Amino acid sequence: EKWTAEQEEMPLWYSHVFSGIPVLGSPVGGPLAPLAQFRELMRPQVVLAFTFIIFFFLAGLGTYLYLKEIGLSKYTAAVGAVIYQFIGNLATTPNAGHAGRAASVAMFPLMLFFIHRALKSKKLLYFILTAFATSFAFYEGHFQITYYGLLFILGYVIYYLIVHRKENSGKDYIKIIGCGLCTVAVICLLMAAVWLPVLGGLGTAARGVERGYEYATSWSMPPLEVIDLVIPTYSGLLDKYWGFSHFKIHLEYFGLLSVIFAIFTIILYWKKTYVKFYTLGIIIVLFVVLGGHTPFFRIFYTIIP
């Protein structure tokens, strides 16, 4: 901050960390993130507090809009929004100041809402809004979480097009593919200021780190901790953590009521299109988060970039 004030420009190189690292060498926004600009007006700790408030609001808003979009009532959508706002992976992020993790989790429902509206209306506007929401998640958020969210959305798009194949003509598919390519292009353009420096430094950036399957699975979720989804502190937390990860400073707790609701939804509304999709999605996601503890992730690791 002192250097920036004296030189009236942002430094592009930190020389005192790991013998020097680029300021823009991270795949997330850092000093270029939209909400980071408020640090010019307020103290960093105040900005961080407001950042979490904004993310919690966006998480609820996005969930409400998406659930309404797929046909749920206002009351049901509101309940779903509140539940999502307080899932462990979002609600416990302020404990360690993990605003990036919160951003990626919070923006996911909005990304889903915009892409669903885009596929339904076939309007370029909603594809562009999807690109803006995704770029915001990348700038503010956790790269890996946002990336996995995009993979899930890709699966959602494929499923949607299969289910609604009789409603779309050849021209509709051409339009959707064209708008989808525009979405990817806009994301790349918006993220160029961050991603181009990363691509330029890939050969020298990972110093002291072995890249490969073992490294990629080093933070796999231990199978026993699946119980934490319904019993929040089963594997402990902070200094009382007894699980098999390196440490644990957040919860994965979904909420007991949400799990009960999900079970009854599967039993009573199995014929509903989105119930089938999310049931299948939960199973696949569970295998992915278990990582190296199952052979499934080896397939995922080999196929997916």
Residues 161 and 217 in one domain: no
Residues 95 and 203 in one domain: yes
CA 122 to CA 179: how far, in whole Å? 8
Domain termination residue (choose one: 209, 235, 255): 209
- Quickly tell me which residue has 């970039």 as its tokens: 305
Q: Which residues contact 156 (CB under 8 A, 6 or more apart)?
A: 112, 115, 116, 277, 281
Domain termination residue (choose one: 209, 235, 261): 209
Residues 165 and 236 in one domain: no
Task: Supply the range of the domain harboring residue 173.
Answer: 1-209
Residues 166 and 298 in one domain: no
**SS3 of 196-208:** HHHHHCHHHHCCC
Q: What is the mean pLDDT of residues 254-267?
A: 90
Residues 6 and 110 in one domain: yes
Domain termination residue (choose one: 209, 235, 252): 209
Residues 196 and 214 in one domain: no
Residues 149 and 19 in one domain: yes
Tens digits of per-residue pLDDT, 4-38?
Answer: 777 777 777 777 766 677 777 677 777 888 998 88
For the record, the structure tokens of 181 come out as 């390519």
Q: Which residues contact 219 (CB under 8 A, 6 or more apart)?
A: 245, 246, 291
Q: Which residues contact 105 (CB under 8 A, 6 or more apart)?
A: 55, 59, 87, 89, 90, 93, 145
Amino acid at 13: W
The total domain count for the chain is 2
Residues 247 and 274 in one domain: yes
Q: 46-58 burial, b if ≥16 CB within 10 A, otherwise e?
A: ebbeebbebbbeb
Q: What are phi and psi of 41, to 5 degrees?
A: -110, -30
- Quickly tell me which residue has 């569970």 as its tokens: 286
Residues 133 and 112 in one domain: yes
Most confident of 67-71, 191-195, 209-213, 296-300: 67-71
Tens digits of per-residue pLDDT, 32-71?
Answer: 889 988 888 888 889 999 999 999 999 999 999 999 999 9
Residues 166 and 226 in one domain: no
Residues 215 and 156 in one domain: no
Using an 8 Å Cβ cutoff, are 239 and 209 in contact?
Answer: no
Q: What is the mean pLDDT of residues 70-89?
A: 94
Helix, strand, or coil (residue 13): strand
CA 88 to CA 231: how far, in whole Å? 11
Whole-structure pTM value: 0.90
Using an 8 Å Cβ cutoff, are 83 and 255 in contact?
Answer: yes
Using an 8 Å Cβ cutoff, are 122 and 172 in contact?
Answer: yes
14: which DSSP letter?
Answer: E
